[in-house]
Amino acid sequence: MCKPRLAVFKFASCDGCQLSLLDAEDHLLAVADAVEIVYFPEATSHMEEGPYDIALVEGSITTPHDAERIQQIRKDARFLMTIGACATAGGIQALRNWADKDEFMQAVYATPEYIQVLETSTPIAEHVQVDFELRGCPINQYQLIEVIRSLLAGQTPRTPRHSVCLD
Ligand code: SF4
């Protein structure tokens, strides 16, 4: 029987959420046994095109190319889950949304005319339908493994509404 195909994609981010997944080691190995990881550039050079059963998406949309790429990922993915504050809320890079991006470009790049960037950094859900959001910076790796396990078991994933206790 074919295993579900899992893919991990990165947009503008620090990679910390993907590394959280890799840090889960033994738990990840258990999940890796139940799925076929067909796209995960952070972990392997082996990359396959869609369709995917589960797509994990880290990072925010900041360039015209990002905006096109996430549309294709959505078409290819049966279940799309965003992981981390960058993907679910725009991330630290969204701080520029309240300023003039051209001023930043002039200050940071010697040749800003070669840089193509959107006016804002936005969460994935502002571009495509997202099936599940896992928040945190970084995400809790055990919550992520638990969500993947739930999906594989055909159950609705359950995670706390907050990543810290607010009581
Ligand atoms: Fe890094 Fe935090 Fe963004 Fe995850 S949410 S990619 S840890 S900045």
Predicted confidence (pLDDT) per residue in 88-100, tens digit? 999 999 999 999 9
Residue 140 lies in a domain: yes
Query: For ligand 1, what atom is nearest to the CA of residue 91?
Result: 3
129 assigned to some structural domain: yes
Asked whether the predicted pLDDT for residue 107 surpasses 50, the reply is yes
Ligand 1 center to residue 139 CA distance, Å? 8
Residue at 165 is within a domain:
no
Over residues 117-128, the mean pLDDT reads 96
**Euclidean distance between CA atoms 112 and 115, whole angstroms:** 5
pLDDT at 156: 82
Give the number of domains in the chain: 1
Residue 85 in this model has a pLDDT that exceeds 70: yes
Q: 142 is in which domain, residue-wise?
A: 5-152
Does residue 13 line the site of ligand 1, with CB under 6 A? Answer: yes
Q: Which of 122, 121, 123 is nearest to 134 (CA)?
A: 123
Residue 146: give its domain's CATH number. Answer: 3.40.50.700
Kindly state whether residue 167 falls inside one of the protein's structural domains.
no
Which one, of 50, 59, 68, lies nearest residue 93 by Cα? 59
What's the pLDDT score for residue 161? Answer: 58
Q: Is residue 126 part of a domain?
A: yes
Domain assignment of residue 104, yes or no: yes
Tell me, what's the pLDDT at 154?
A: 87
